[in-house]
């Protein structure tokens, strides 16, 4: 089976075909770095991290671009209000670039903790003003933008006549005109309320400003992604991703800018959107105030959560659902994720000990084992369904447990089939889903010592001590197992 992905632009699942195989260009709209990232901000990066890891596993040469928005993102999508960066800088009495650097650093730390590999290119909007000015000039020359008082606006109705605006979000401009109109300052410069800013003339108090042919000012938010995607991924990238909330207006405007400039394409062949994180069914967002900051969540308690959850548990939690479904956050859901994550990690530990006992090839148990192994990628191939692939991992793990505890079953599988299954499990868990064992400081030595005390107490039949040690370790999430080979431990799956 081959990889198919749901394309928002065509509203169907399509077999993935790179524009220039084996190269694949992936662009993910990154954070606006004016505050700490919350859980909702982490879903896209985790989803697209799994996607790029899987594409690499399939043999593609992936260039993964995830930008940093450090300019041009106004508080309202209607091109008015204060720049988010400047507002945060003013509040903290520091340079806007200091705000950007601080939160970009924090963001990178959190993403690394969550197991997201760093992007190949992480362009910043403020470092690509020249490219953005160039693109505006093209759009004006092509007749799809106009200048008023030093600001430049994209002419949506004119564009719509030639290209139909709203193809991505599947809405016509009549619908949009019927919506609530924004009457905030600056709107009177626009010929149509649908028009959006490509360049804004800076007010005297505005700190972040650059010279341009039109005025000292700054680019509109939507422009940076079009300009940077073209610069690093060419006129047509393979996959452009982001949260569902970016589909309109941000991504719709990106497509319009590319079509109206000399790029002349939809910017990307496949447009993918991950769904939102919800709290009690309501979207988690800064503006609603129901967010859980990642830094707080790793320590806990945070917001509606009574305890902390490690980054790997959070990553597993985000992958437990298909990316196009909403995910509701709660202690119950995260505790279930922790259990699932630990189960997979225990699986890795089990594999270290699972050695074939039969010499032959094509043994009776091979077919079943190979079927379970082949099923591991069925989910990922079907529009990156991580939930399905995780379920397949648990099915295979159940088989491994049987093999580990039933000598007759182990004797029934060949070294080749077992080797393939073990390798596939490891690859999917560690390399593609990106789940790693979380470090325990000196934990191995401490555990070995405690287990030696346990063995001594048992030999002396000091059962009160035995119980104390068992309970103490249980409190740390560890269970002791008395096996024929001696005393062993495992993570508690409760
Ligand atoms: Zn973007």
Nearest alpha carbon to residue 117 among 298, 271, 315: 315
| Structure confidence at residue 283 as a pLDDT band (50, 70, 90) | confident
| Structure confidence at residue 172 as a pLDDT band (50, 70, 90) | confident
Give pLDDT, residue 28.
Answer: 98
Query: In the predicted model, is pLDDT for residue 197 greater than 50?
Result: yes
- Is residue 452 within 8 A of residue 473, CB to CB? The reply is no
CB atoms within 10 A of CB 347: 21
Query: At 62, phi and psi to the nearest 5?
Result: -95, 135
Residue 216 CA, ligand 1 centroid: distance in Å: 23
Residue 251 CA, ligand 1 centroid: distance in Å: 7
Residue 262 CA, ligand 1 centroid: distance in Å: 19
156: its two tokens: 């949506």
- The answer on whether 258 is annotated among ligand-binding residues is no
Query: In the predicted model, is pLDDT for residue 129 greater than 90?
Result: yes
Question: What is the β-pairing status of strands 237-243 and 23-28?
Answer: parallel
How many Å apart are CA 176 and CA 170, to the nearest integer?
A: 11
How many Å apart are CA 265 and CA 289, to the nearest integer?
A: 38
Sign of CA dihedral 288, 289, 295, 300: negative
Residue 27 CA, ligand 1 centroid: distance in Å: 9
Question: What is the β-pairing status of strands 145-148 and 151-154?
Answer: antiparallel
Residue 121 CA, ligand 1 centroid: distance in Å: 14
Residue 428 CA, ligand 1 centroid: distance in Å: 30
Residue 429 CA, ligand 1 centroid: distance in Å: 30
Residue 162 CA, ligand 1 centroid: distance in Å: 24
Give pLDDT, residue 188.
Answer: 85
Query: At 5, phi and psi to the nearest 5?
Result: -135, 145
Residue 267 CA, ligand 1 centroid: distance in Å: 11
Residue 29 CA, ligand 1 centroid: distance in Å: 4
> Any idea how long the chain is?
494
Distance of CA 474 to the CA centre of its chain: 33
**Mean pLDDT (the chain, rounded):** 92
pLDDT for 356-391, tens place per residue? 998 888 999 999 999 999 999 999 999 999 999 999
Residue 73 CA, ligand 1 centroid: distance in Å: 10
Domain boundaries along the sequence of the chain: 4-274, 308-432, 443-491
Q: 105 or 34, which is more confident?
A: 105
- Is residue 13 within 8 A of residue 5, CB to CB? The reply is yes
pLDDT for 203-260, tens place per residue? 888 888 999 999 999 999 899 999 999 999 999 999 999 999 999 999 999 999 999 9
For residue 35, how many C-alpha atoms fall within 13 Å in the half-sphere facing its CB?
Answer: 15
| Structure confidence at residue 91 as a pLDDT band (50, 70, 90) | confident
Query: In the predicted model, is pLDDT for residue 51 greater than 80?
Result: yes
Give pLDDT, residue 31.
Answer: 93
Residue 245 CA, ligand 1 centroid: distance in Å: 11
Sign of CA dihedral 75, 77, 81, 84: positive
Q: What's the mean pLDDT in 458-464?
A: 92
DSSP codes of every residue in 291-351: --BHHHHHHS-BTTBSS---HHHHHHHHHTS-TTS-EE--HHHHHHHHHHHHHHHHHHHHH
Query: At 343, phi and psi to the nearest 5?
Result: -60, -45
Residue 191 CA, ligand 1 centroid: distance in Å: 25
- Is residue 300 within 8 A of residue 35, CB to CB? The reply is no
SS3 64: strand
Residue 94 CA, ligand 1 centroid: distance in Å: 26
CA distances from 205 to 62, 82, 134, 241 (A): 42, 11, 26, 35
Residue 32 CA, ligand 1 centroid: distance in Å: 10
Percent of the chain's residues with pLDDT above 70: 95
pTM value surpassing 0.85: yes
CB atoms within 10 A of CB 174: 9
Give the CATH architecture of domain 4-274. 3-Layer(aba) Sandwich (3.40)
| Structure confidence at residue 277 as a pLDDT band (50, 70, 90) | very high
Residue 89 CA, ligand 1 centroid: distance in Å: 22
- The answer on whether 29 is annotated among ligand-binding residues is yes
Residue 220 DSSP class: -
Enclosing H/E stretch for 272? strand 268-274
Query: In the predicted model, is pLDDT for residue 78 greater than 70?
Result: no
State which fold the 308-432 domain adopts.
Answer: Isoleucyl-tRNA Synthetase; Domain 1 (1.10.730)
Give pLDDT, residue 180.
Answer: 46
Give pLDDT, residue 273.
Answer: 98
| Strand partners for 487 | 482
- The answer on whether 75 is annotated among ligand-binding residues is no
Residue 493 CA, ligand 1 centroid: distance in Å: 40
Give pLDDT, residue 73.
Answer: 59
189: its two tokens: 């410069």
Enclosing H/E stretch for 166? none
61: its two tokens: 């040469």
Query: In the predicted model, is pLDDT for residue 67 greater than 70?
Result: yes
Residue 52 CA, ligand 1 centroid: distance in Å: 18
**How big is the CA angle at 16 (ends 15 and 18), to the nearest 5 degrees?**
140
**Residue with token string 């060949």:** 414
Query: In the predicted model, is pLDDT for residue 294 greater than 90?
Result: yes
């Amino acid at each position: 089976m081959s990889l198919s992905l749901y394309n928002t632009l065509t509203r169907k699942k399509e077999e993935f075909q790179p524009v220039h195989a084996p190269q694949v260009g992936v662009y993910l709209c990154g954070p606006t770095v004016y505050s700490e990232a919350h859980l909702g901000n982490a879903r896209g990066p985790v989803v697209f991290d799994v996607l790029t890891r899987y594409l690499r596993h399939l043999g593609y040469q992936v260039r993964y671009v995830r930008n940093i928005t450090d300019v041009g993102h106004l508080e309202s999508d209607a091109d008015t209000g204060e720049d988010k960066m400047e507002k945060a800088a003013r509040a903290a009495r520091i340079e806007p670039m200091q705000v950007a650097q601080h939160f970009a650093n924090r963001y990178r730390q959190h993403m690394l903790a969550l197991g997201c590999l760093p992007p190949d290119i992480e362009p910043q909007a403020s470092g690509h003003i020249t490219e953005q000015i160039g693109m505006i000039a093209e759009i004006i020359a092509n007749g799809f933008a106009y200048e008023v008082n030093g600001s430049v606006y994209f002419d949506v109705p004119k564009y719509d006549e030639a290209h139909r605006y709203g193809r991505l979000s599947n809405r016509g401009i009549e619908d949009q005109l019927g919506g609530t109109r924004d009457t905030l300052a600056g709107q009177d410069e626009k010929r149509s309320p649908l028009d959006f800013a490509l360049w804004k003339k800076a007010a005297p108090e505005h700190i972040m400003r650059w010279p341009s042919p039109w005025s000292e000012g700054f680019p509109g938010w939507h422009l940076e992604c079009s300009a940077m995607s073209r610069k690093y991924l060419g006129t047509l990238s393979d996959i452009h991703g982001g949260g569902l909330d970016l589909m309109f207006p941000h991504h719709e405007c990106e497509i319009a800018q590319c079509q109206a400039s000399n790029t002349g394409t939809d910017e990307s062949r496949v447009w993918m959107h991950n769904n939102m994180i919800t709290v009690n069914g309501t979207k988690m967002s800064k503006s609603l105030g129901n967010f859980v900051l990642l830094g707080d969540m790793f320590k806990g308690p945070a917001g509606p959560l009574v305890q902390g959850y490690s980054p790997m548990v959070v990553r597993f939690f985000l992958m437990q659902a298909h990316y196009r479904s909403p995910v509701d956050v709660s202690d119950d859901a995260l505790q279930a994720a922790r259990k699932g994550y630990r189960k997979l990690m225990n699986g890795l530990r089990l594999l270290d000990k699972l050695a074939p006992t039969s010499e032959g090839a094509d043994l009776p148990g091979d077919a079943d084992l190979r079927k379970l192994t082949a099923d591991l990628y069925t989910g990922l191939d079907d529009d990156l369904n991580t939930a399905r692939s995780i379920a397949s991992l648990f099915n295979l793990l159940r088989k491994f447990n049987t093999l580990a505890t039933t000598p007759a079953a182990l004797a029934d599988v060949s070294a080749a089939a077992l080797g393939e299954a073990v390798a596939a499990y490891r690859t999917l868990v560690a390399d593609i889903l990106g789940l790693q064992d979380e470090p325990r400081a000196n934990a191995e030595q401490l555990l070995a010592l405690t287990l030696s005390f346990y063995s001594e107490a048992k030999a002396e039949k000091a059962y009160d001590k035995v119980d104390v040690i068992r309970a103490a370790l249980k409190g740390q999430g560890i269970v002791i197992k008395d096996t024929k080979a001696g005393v062993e431990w495992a993570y508690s799956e409760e």
